[in-house]
């Protein structure tokens, strides 16, 4: 019997098998941010265990509330900053160099095919886009990861999600994943890995694959994963060029992780996206999804563009195409938070920031910010936001606020129109 990519990664990292259903894996990368790590740091200190298993394999960023907004968030940042220094963690990203973790760390080349990755953040599943096993964990798992370099998992089964056809104009990875979550429901993939494959995924950039994998958790999945290929190798090339003679060699080497043809899957589903229109959420759960045409005319107060789902350069380029030469509607305020300094700087070089600003957007520094209602664009009760983020829970972006999730192009179109609208009318 063949193996899936996840089974191969598990086999290569298995440290222990504490029961028939559980394995303890060696972890290649433990990532930390200032919301879920400080309590782990404090706890380790209190226990007299203030040490790390390997400073080179720990990556640290202040991203959720940055620059700090008050004494409490400043204290969290300080705990993380002091700890990174004390533990000689070289890859620590503070103001000026920081960005949204799941956009920043891939940019730095920290994630490779076949890796195991954990972070105290549910959207860690994003990194599966590189052919890694990447899972969000709680603070105790993170603490053990920091201390011992291991993490326990139940043996996950894999759902094979094949995406066929071709994406129409104005339709993106975000629309595809919203449609998939609608079909699977918010717990349809619990304890499963979602393996994305098929011609549409093969044709996607790493940015688009990250958007796809980012929202696997919204269907309950442990991780989303794409098979590493030439697109992966080209993205990673600046970081792996010492390891391979050329890109071809890397592409061939990456194939060792690919799922075998006779691998066993828990289930297999095919989505033909050829006729898929832009999608949008309408309720307080990420599986409450409709065609945007059904929601057209829904008035909005705010547009939020950014986050680990859709704050990358490709997202900004696509949105700028809609915004170029246009102004946001009078009833709308619009916020752009490029996900990383590199995205921000690239967007400036390409003239995208000017397009956003000329349209009436406020451009903020990279941060998680309003996505989880912590800063940078929190909603008042009764307000509605067209957002490129990943969660529409009740109160997520501010108590009493309503969040509609959509692609950057749909959000840009809504900004101009002042209400939800089919963005294809504006392309």
Binding residues for other proteins (CB under 8 A): 15-16, 18-22, 24, 35-36, 38-39, 42-43, 47, 49, 64-65, 70, 72-73, 75-76, 79, 119-122, 124, 136-141, 143-144, 147-148, 150, 152, 154, 186-187, 190-191, 220, 222, 285, 372-374, 391, 393-396, 399
Non-local CB neighbours of 201 within 8 Å, separated by 6+ positions: 163, 209, 212, 226
- 220's tokens: 């309950």
Could you list the beta-strand ranges (E) of 282-332.
Answer: 289-291, 302-305
- Backbone φ and ψ for 291, nearest 5 degrees, come out as -65, 140
Tokens of 265: 């899957």
Minimum CB distance to other proteins smaller for 191 or for 202:
191
| Minimum gap (Å) between residue 260 Cβ and other proteins | 25
Distance of alpha carbon 277 from alpha carbon 270, whole angstroms: 17
Closer to other proteins by Cβ: residue 189 or 233: 189
The closest of 67, 104, 112, 60 to 83, measured between CA atoms, is: 60
Closer Cβ to other proteins, 20 or 349, answer by number: 20
Shortest reach from residue 97's CB to other proteins, in Å = 22
Least distance (Å) between residue 425 CB and other proteins? 34
What angle is formed at CA 118 by the lines to CA 307 and CA 312, rounded to 5 degrees?
20
Closer to other proteins by Cβ: residue 51 or 327: 51
Which residue from 315, 408, 340 is spatially nearest to 105, judged by alpha carbons? Answer: 340
Looking at the Cβ atoms of 215 and 292, the one nearer to other proteins is 215
Output the six-digit token pair for 412: 């840009």
Half-sphere exposure of 180 (CA within 13 A, CB side): 34
Give the residue carrying structure tokens 């972070």.
119
Instruction: Estimate to the nearest angstrom the gap between the alpha carbon of 44 and the chain centroid.
Output: 28
Query: Please, which residue, 7 or 141, has the CB nearer to other proteins?
Result: 141
Taking residue 199's Cβ as centre, other Cβ atoms within 10 Å add up to 12
Q: How far is the CB of 199 from other proteins (least distance, A)?
A: 30
Q: Which helix (H) or strand (E) holds 359?
A: helix 352-359
Beta strands 133-136 and 150-154, pairing class: unpaired
| Contacts for 350 with CB less than 8 Å, ≥ 6 apart | 313, 317
Residue among 18 and 199 whose Cβ is closer to other proteins: 18
Shortest distance, position 65 Cβ to other proteins, whole Å? 7
Give yes or no for a contact between 284 and 394, defined as CB atoms under 8 angstroms apart.
yes
Shortest separation between residue 371's beta carbon and other proteins, angstroms: 9
CB of 207 to other proteins, least distance (A): 23
Using the minimum distance from each CB to other proteins, give the nearer residue, 388 or 390: 390
How near is the Cβ of 316 to other proteins at its closest, in Å?
25
As measured in angstroms, the least distance from the Cβ of 77 to other proteins is: 10
Compute the Cα dihedral for 212, 64, 79, 121 and give only its sign.
negative
* 65 vs 178, beta carbon nearer other proteins: 65
């Amino acid at each position: 019997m063949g193996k899936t990519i996840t089974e191969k990664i598990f086999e290569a990292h298995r440290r222990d098998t504490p029961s028939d259903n559980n394995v303890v894996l060696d972890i290649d990368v433990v990532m930390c941010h200032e919301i879920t790590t400080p309590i782990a740091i404090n706890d380790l200190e209190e226990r007299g265990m203030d040490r790390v298993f390997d400073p080179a394999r720990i990556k640290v960023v202040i991203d959720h509330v940055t620059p700090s907004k008050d004494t409490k968030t400043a204290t969290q940042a300080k705990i993380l900053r002091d700890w990174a220094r004390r533990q000689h963690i070289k890859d620590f990203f503070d103001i000026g160099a920081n960005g949204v973790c799941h956009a920043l760390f891939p940019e730095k080349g920290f994630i490779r095919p076949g890796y195991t990755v954990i972070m105290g953040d549910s959207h860690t599943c994003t990194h599966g886009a590189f052919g890694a096993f990447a899972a969000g964990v709680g603070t105790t798992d993170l603490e053990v990861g920091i201390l011992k370099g291991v993490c326990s998992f139940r043996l996950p089964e894999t759902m094979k999600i094949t995406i066929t056809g071709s994406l129409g104009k104005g339709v993106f990875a975000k629309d595809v994943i919203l449609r998939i979550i609608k079909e699977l429901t918010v717990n349809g993939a619990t304890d499963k890995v979602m393996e994305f494959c098929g011609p549409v995924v093969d044709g996607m950039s790493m940015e688009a694959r990250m958007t796809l994998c980012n929202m696997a958790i919204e269907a309950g999945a442990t991780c989303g994963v794409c098979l590493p290929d030439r697109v992966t190798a080209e993205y990673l090339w600046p970081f792996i060029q010492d390891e391979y003679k050329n890109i071809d060699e890397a592409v061939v080497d990456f194939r060792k992780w690919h799922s075998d043809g006779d691998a066993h899957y828990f289930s297999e589903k095919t989505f033909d996206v050829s006729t898929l229109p832009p999608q949008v959420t309408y309720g307080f759960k990420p599986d409450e999804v409709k065609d945007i045409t059904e929601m057209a005319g829904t008035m909005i107060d705010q547009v939020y563009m950014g986050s680990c789902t859709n704050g990358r350069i490709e997202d900004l380029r696509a949105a700028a195409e809609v915004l170029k030469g246009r102004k946001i509607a009078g009833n709308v305020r619009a916020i752009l938070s490029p996900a990383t300094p590199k995205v921000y700087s690239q967007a400036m070089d390409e003239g995208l920031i000017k397009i956003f600003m000329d349209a009436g957007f406020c451009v903020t520094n990279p941060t998680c910010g309003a996505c989880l209602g912590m800063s940078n664009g929190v909603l008042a009760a009764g307000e509605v936001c067209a957002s490129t983020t990943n969660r529409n829970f009740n109160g997520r972006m501010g108590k009493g606020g309503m969040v509609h999730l959509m692609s950057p192009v749909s959000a840009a179109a809504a900004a101009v129109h002042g209400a939800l609208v089919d963005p294809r009318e504006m392309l």
